Amino acid sequence: MSNHDNLRIGILGASGYTGGELIRLLSRHPKTYIGAVSAEKHAGKSVAEIFPQFRHLNLPILQKIDDFQWDSLDLVFCALPHGMTQELVTRLPKHIKIIDLSADFRLRQPSLYQHWYGHPHRAIDLQAQAIYGLSEVYRREIARATLVACPGCYPTAAQLALIPLLKDGLIETTPIMIDAKSGISGAGRELKQNSLFCETIEGIHAYGVNGHRHIPEIEQGLSDAAGKPVSISFIPHLVPMSRGILETIYVRLALDVTTTDIRECWLKIYKNSHFIDILLVGSSPETRHVRGTNRCAMSVLNNPIPGYATILVTIDNLVKGASGQAIQNMNIMMGYQENLGLEHIALFP
């Protein structure tokens, strides 16, 4: 298939970590052609000047978004900061499919968005059309979508583990406690004091302890699954590694439910899900075993407290938690094989 026959892709915000991951993954996708890339501060530069690892690829020059030739594109990935995508998508031609990696269309209630992101939602009509892009849960809806809101990295891991259990009534809706840890790339590529080498190396610290923006997103998905409101306790931590997420989740089991029942539920729900790895009861998934991949590994352990269980789930925050899941959603939208272009093996050691 020639480039002219492939799906013509635009990447907005190509100079950030998620933009770089989109380029890395799409450059080996057999049915896509990267036709345009944007980076407002680096317009006019080659992609290789920003990401030298791509110097051997034939990629377009970075542009400002206003200079894009939209008629030459079929689908756009928006890897822009929160708040920027809402106004932009209202101006795009109707034929372009949109996959947004920001939080702009994740929350269904505009009031919740305003509370957590500090400004009114600027595209409420489009918000009603957006499909939440948790691939394994909303495949049918994604297949018909023209605007997909990709989940956040923490919500992806938490919901993949918990939604099947809540749907089947295997766990109680309270308490649900999520102890989450992420690599530093989750903070983005912009210069910030708290993500400098000397601020992060040889230490680990909690952040967002008084409320993190991903809480309403997780609660939205879990409440849908349970059929009633669900509130969670969620504390994220920053770990001195470049990428990866590990979540330790504490749940109360429903009456007579065992950890074996939980594992069997996952196996049933995810039997046709290529990227979900269900480990044996008592096994512990590790971030290094999914590093650089679109895989999600999960397991359940017996908790010393009777009636409780401990769930462990890990993903790569930049792949399954962002760019990889975005491409998985693209595959679903376009009717491609879901794992096309995403069959990467973990980098180890």
Q: Is 150 tagged catalytic? A: no
* Calpha distance 31→45 (Å, rounded): 26
pLDDT above 70 (res 2):
no
Residues 79 and 102 in one domain: yes
Q: Which residue range is the domain that position 51 belongs to?
A: 3-151+321-334
- Sheet hosting strand 62-63, strand order edge to edge: 62-63, 32-38, 7-12, 75-78, 97-100, 147-149, 131-132
Residues 88 and 158 in one domain: no
Residues 138 and 75 in one domain: yes
Q: Is residue 46 part of a domain?
A: yes
Q: Is residue 19 part of a domain?
A: yes
pLDDT above 60 (res 184):
yes
Q: What CATH code is carried by the domain that includes residue 298?
A: 3.30.360.10
Residues 192 and 301 in one domain: yes
Q: Is residue 341 part of a domain?
A: no
Given this model, what pLDDT does residue 8 score? 98
pLDDT in tens, 294-327: 999 999 999 999 999 999 999 999 999 999 999 9
Residues 276 and 326 in one domain: no
Q: What is the mean pLDDT of residues 248-277?
A: 98
How many independent structural domains does the chain possess?
Answer: 2
pLDDT in tens, 165-183: 999 999 999 999 999 999 9
Q: What percent of the chain has pLDDT over 90?
A: 89
- Which residue among 153, 198, 265, 296 is the active-site one? 153
Q: Is residue 234 part of a domain?
A: yes
Distances (CA, A) of 326 to 58, 66, 145, 163, 166: 22, 23, 13, 20, 25
Q: Is residue 165 part of a domain?
A: yes
Strand-pair partners of 253: 171
Residues 179 and 131 in one domain: no
Residues 96 and 170 in one domain: no
pLDDT in tens, 93-112: 999 999 999 999 999 999 99
pLDDT above 50 (res 290):
yes
